[in-house]
Amino acid sequence: MKVVLIGVGQAGGKVTQRLAEYDYDMGFGAVQGAMAVNTAEADLRNLDIDTMLIGRDRVKGHGVGGDNELGAEIMQAEATEVMDGLDAKLSTEAEAVVIVAGLGGGTGSGGAPALARELKRIHDIPVYVTGILPGRDEGAIYQANAGRSLKTVAREADSLLLIDNDAWRTAGESMEEGFAEINDNIAQRLGLLFASGEIDAVDEVAESVVDSSEIINTLRPGGMAVLGYASAAASEDAGENVNAITSTTRNALLTGTSVPNVVEAETGLLVVAGQPERISRKGVERARSWIEEETGSMQVRGGDFPLDSERIAALVLLGGVERSNRIDEFMERAKEAHESKNDDRGEAKEAFVNEELDDLF
């Protein structure tokens, strides 16, 4: 699937750059263009991709702090300029726009939903948001911001691919130490997903490749999506890899998803990557039907991704996921943080009579 990436805010810019680098290094050619937008000049300086500073008249290049309402306002006011900057990258071949943002900060948290709304108004291709949730140890303001941003993005984007900052990092590392590793993991996994729709079936030995439309159809239910990943050593003989494929798929779904403990989904896509001669058709078919049973979805697609590796990897994309325990738990954290933030300011609590978080706009 040919995509144009736009990172909003600090995390958004860093992850976008990693994704563009990964796609380039692997020679996939799925990333057609990448750009980073921010209200903080300093955060743009470290990036090699194209950048654009917004909100100059309001915050003078110093960022919005954690004020995601201001982040949304600035993006609403300057969305036309941002989209103009994106136009040259949005060739006729682009099949989707992917906005990347940390949902817990200010610029990305407010800017991502505002930009998604504007892009959807103008373009026919899908507009997806990859949203990063703050880890458990991050402060209350991050949780509160992310809760409101998540709600608003899920409403505005064609699909919100959620990544929990606690999901793909090594236990014991601090959040900052973990960022480089998390960003590498996001780049590899999302990068593989985009590239999996790019394999030309005629040129490759793979028997059943994934098409871009299968990724788009898997994300069609809207709402939230998650991505799972796992890999394992594989035998040289496909016939011996039935179990390797089914158990790797199980690990991808049960322990390797970008938001843990998601079990119910409307749609699914399984991509098995590895040397074509090591991929067992029977294994892929069994793993695909296992995902259908496990998620209650009747629409799980499956395909191969020829990759020169002695290991076998399973990538599982789930669309229209139900709010899992983990997402409920996160929304609870966000709500509490939002309420205590407002208590501190001495504001009335009436806004929370229905105990729901407000949308951002």
Which residues here bind ligand GDP, judged by CB under 6 A?
A: 9-12, 14-15, 102, 104-109, 132, 134, 138, 142, 165, 175, 179, 182-183
Is 147 known as a binding-site position? no
Burial 104-125 (b: 16+ CB within 10 A, else e): bbbbbbbbbbbbbbbbbeebeb
Is 265 known as a binding-site position? no
What is the nearest approach in angstroms of ligand GDP to the Cβ of residue 202? 37
Is 238 known as a binding-site position? no
Is 268 known as a binding-site position? no
Is 165 known as a binding-site position? yes
Is 14 known as a binding-site position? yes
Residue 26 and residue 196 in contact, taking contact as beta carbons nearer than 8 Å:
no
What is the nearest approach in angstroms of ligand GDP to the Cβ of residue 190? 12
What is the nearest approach in angstroms of ligand GDP to the Cβ of residue 143? 9
Nearest CB to ligand GDP, comparing residues 10 and 152: 10
Nearest CB to ligand GDP, comparing residues 145 and 280: 145
Nearest CB to ligand GDP, comparing residues 102 and 274: 102
CA atoms of 198 and 1, how far apart (whole Å): 6
Nearest CB to ligand GDP, comparing residues 17 and 295: 17
Residue 103 and residue 150 in contact, taking contact as beta carbons nearer than 8 Å:
yes
Estimate the crossing angle of helix 212-219 against helix 175-196, to 10 degrees.
Answer: 120
Nearest CB to ligand GDP, comparing residues 161 and 265: 161
CA atoms of 222 and 215, how far apart (whole Å): 12
CA nearest neighbour of 272 among 300, 211, 314: 314
The 3-state DSSP class for residue 180 equals helix
CA atoms of 275 and 246, how far apart (whole Å): 16
What is the nearest approach in angstroms of ligand GDP to the Cβ of residue 260? 15
Is 354 known as a binding-site position? no
The full DSSP string for 328-350 is HHHHHHHHHHHHHHHHHTT--SG
What is the nearest approach in angstroms of ligand GDP to the Cβ of residue 258? 11
Q: Could you tell me the CA-to-CA distances from 205 to 79, 208, 211, 278, 355 in Å, in that order?
A: 44, 9, 15, 12, 55
Is 107 known as a binding-site position? yes
Nearest CB to ligand GDP, comparing residues 59 and 97: 59
What is the nearest approach in angstroms of ligand GDP to the Cβ of residue 247? 28
Residue 143 and residue 112 in contact, taking contact as beta carbons nearer than 8 Å:
no
Annotated binding-site residue numbers: 10-14, 106-108, 138, 165, 183
Annotated binding site for GTP: 10-14, 106-108, 138, 165, 183
